[in-house]
Amino acid sequence: MRPLLVRWGSALALACCLSLFLVQGGASAAPAEVAAGSVPPGRDPFYTPPSPLPPGRPGDVIRSRPSVFTLDAISKAPVVGVSSWQVLYRSESATGEPIAVSGTVLVPTKPWAGPGPRPLVTYAVGTRGLGDKCAPSYSLTQGLDYEELFILDAVNKGWAVAITDMQGLGTPGRHTYVVGRSQGRSVLNIARAAQRLPGTGLRPDGPVGIWGYSEGGNSAGWAAEIAATYAPELQVKGAVAGGIPGKLRGLLAHEGGPFVGLLFMAAVGFDAAYPELDLNGYLNDKGRALLASAGDSCLASFDVASLVGDTAFRRISDFTTRNPLDDPRWIARLDANDLGTVAPSAPVLQAHALFDEAVFFGQADEVHKDWCRRGANLTWQVYAVAEHIMGALFAEPASVAFLNDRFNGRPVKGNCA
């Protein structure tokens, strides 16, 4: 296995172990002179969008500022040879309303030596938590992002990388955790924003790849499904969707187990995306207290213990007066965010660990079969001796190789039976 993965494995293991329990043109200046990463998003006016939003299209940059991409949590020394920007850009909610989303754009300073324009990877991160300080645009400035070496690997290939914070991380409002109809748009719109951001040298006709694992795999899968119709101008050459929670009712098996926090986060995410679901109306006193305490939980600051301890081995009825899943409105919204109803237009690598204890294998296999039935060019990779964390480690080199082949125009024929 690559040296990259060896030196990264222990950090990923610690962060991911915690995460499993949770489950046109120019940009305007920031409203105040605050250096990127100097304060958390909740105290940084950069993340507060103007109200109303300025006119524009999805992917337009509202504002930007220079940033720092660092792997050093102590000195905060920037990675050499990489230009970094934080951006606030236009996207759309799950219901199609215009919103502002924050994110990061990274571009190598060394000229691109490959064929054609420099490729761009739009990278969808995995589970972070619910608090604004969980935003990757902040953690990447702190040397505390558990996917930073995956991102570095892409940058070292000479690719530009755009990392969305997704709706509600950094920016006001709750995070729309695993709500694919919002997340997929955020993933595609930051690719548009990166191409429109002055100073990046990225061309609008440049090749685009999509990459994500776990929650990020869900976001990447959604971006791959809707790219042809939602962002047809993007030259998407391939997508990687690993460890995906693609059939959301399949997560209900967590009830009574150690990862009930995933269910709670999903409930919060869907309530944020669809306010008519009225999660608060179902919660008892214990549930409301949990929501209040978990609202700012975040992996990077290791303050997820309350969510872990208060939900492990519990049941939905411990936190509610009635089960929201008895309400057809909840079921309809969950089902509307399942993957597998549309074949992605670009080739896809879907990878999953057979013994994934957090994002169950069976529901991901359903997505694989649905995509195959619909004619997708799908490469289905199963890691037979792995769980969720090792699945991420095993999938990383395969993901980079898959995208590299797509950017170099090499044909691929999937393995759908």
- Model pLDDT, residue 80: 97
- Model pLDDT, residue 297: 76
As a whole number, mean pLDDT of residues 187-201 equals: 98
Range with the poorest average pLDDT among 39-53, 252-266, 381-395, 400-414: 252-266
Residue 248 tokens, joined: 């959301």
Q: Which of 33, 42, 86 is nearest to 61 (CA)?
A: 86
Strand, coil or helix: 340:
coil
Q: Phi and psi of 102, rounded to 5°?
A: -100, 165
> How confident is residue 55, by pLDDT bands cut at 50, 70 and 90?
very high
> Which 8-state DSSP code applies to residue 126?
-
Range with the poorest average pLDDT among 60-74, 97-111, 245-259: 245-259
- Model pLDDT, residue 251: 80
User: Using an 8 Å Cβ cutoff, are 185 and 193 in contact?
Assistant: no
What number of other Cβ atoms are within 10 A of residue 315's Cβ? 14
Distance CA 119, CA 111 (A): 12
Q: Phi and psi of 152, rounded to 5°?
A: -60, -40
Integer angstrom CA distances of residue 322 from 280, 283, 326, 333: 11, 8, 8, 18
Q: Which of 85, 62, 52, 18 is nearest to 262 (CA)?
A: 18
Edge to edge, the sheet with strand 235-242 lists 61-66, 82-92, 98-108, 160-164, 120-124, 207-213, 235-242, 348-353, 378-383
- Model pLDDT, residue 304: 53
Per DSSP bridges, beta strands 61-66 and 82-92 are: antiparallel
Residue 353 tokens, joined: 């660990």
Is the pLDDT higher at 316 or at 148? 148
- Model pLDDT, residue 325: 86
Q: Would you call 371 exposed, middle or buried from its count of C-beta atoms within 10 A (0-12, 13-18, 19+)?
A: buried
Tokens 């994934």 label which residue?
356
Strand, coil or helix: 64:
strand
Q: Phi and psi of 97, rounded to 5°?
A: -80, 145
Q: How many CA atoms lie within 13 A of 238 on its CB side?
A: 26
As a whole number, mean pLDDT of residues 270-288 equals: 94
pLDDT tens, position by position, 247-276: 998 888 778 877 788 888 899 999 999 999
Distance CA 103, CA 170 (A): 9
Distance CA 413, CA 377 (A): 6
Per DSSP bridges, beta strands 348-353 and 378-383 are: parallel
Distance CA 246, CA 214 (A): 10
- Model pLDDT, residue 281: 94
- Model pLDDT, residue 299: 65
* Largest CA-CA distance found in the chain, in angstroms, rounded: 61
Integer angstrom CA distances of residue 305 from 245, 286, 293: 23, 16, 10
- Model pLDDT, residue 231: 98
- Model pLDDT, residue 305: 52
| Cα distance from N-terminal residue to C-terminal residue, the chain | 29
Residue ranges and CATH numbers for the domains of the chain are 3-247+336-407 (3.40.50.1820)
As a whole number, mean pLDDT of residues 302-317 equals: 71
